[in-house]
């Protein structure tokens, strides 16, 4: 009986994990990965590793997106500011694409310029939205 209870508990947990995976990552998970990618980008820029910079910028540009449920939760929290949130995400995406191109072309000046724009886009979103979103997850 004890084995059956353990097996049932494992199956319930596995089903929950599978449902979460099918839904997509949470915003927190996406942001943590973007932070890691940004750190990799900084490291690559600092040592002049254009290939690594292009990969990191590409990872930022092509980041995972939250699932429908998480997107609905964000929409509920932000309300009309969701439009701004989406615009800032698009700006960060477009800047990361341009940065990846500059890195592939080994254009240091453009890489540094785009990096500044990328960080500005991130911090603009964080300063206007992070506290509201973070407070809603506690």
Domains of the chain, with CATH numbers?
25-135 (1.20.120.10)
**Quick one: pLDDT at residue 23?**
83
* Percent of all residues in the chain with a pLDDT value above 70, rounded to a whole number: 82
Q: How far is CA 64 from the centre of its chain?
A: 6
Indicate whether this model's pTM tops 0.85: no
Per-residue model confidence as pLDDT tens digits over 43-55: 999 999 999 999 9
Per-residue model confidence as pLDDT tens digits over 53-104: 999 999 999 999 999 999 999 999 999 999 999 999 999 999 999 999 999 9
Three-class SS of residue 49? coil
Q: Considering only CA atoms, which of 58, 46, 37, 47 is closest in space to residue 104? A: 58
Residues 37 and 63 sit within 8 Å (Cβ to Cβ): yes
């Amino acid at each position: 009986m004890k084995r059956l209870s353990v097996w049932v508990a494992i199956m319930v947990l596995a089903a929950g994990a599978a449902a979460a995976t099918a839904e997509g990552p949470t915003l927190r998970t996406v942001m943590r990965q973007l932070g890691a990618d940004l750190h990799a980008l900084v490291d690559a820029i600092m040592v002049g590793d254009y290939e690594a910079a292009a990969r990191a910028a590409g990872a930022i540009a092509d980041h995972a997106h939250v699932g429908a449920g998480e997107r609905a939760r964000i929409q509920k929290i932000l309300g009309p500011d969701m439009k701004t949130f989406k615009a800032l995400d698009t700006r960060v995406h477009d800047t990361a694409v341009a940065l990846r191109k500059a890195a592939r072309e080994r254009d240091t000046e453009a890489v540094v310029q785009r990096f500044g724009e990328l960080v500005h886009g991130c911090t603009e979103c964080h300063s206007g939205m992070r506290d509201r979103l973070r407070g809603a997850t506690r």
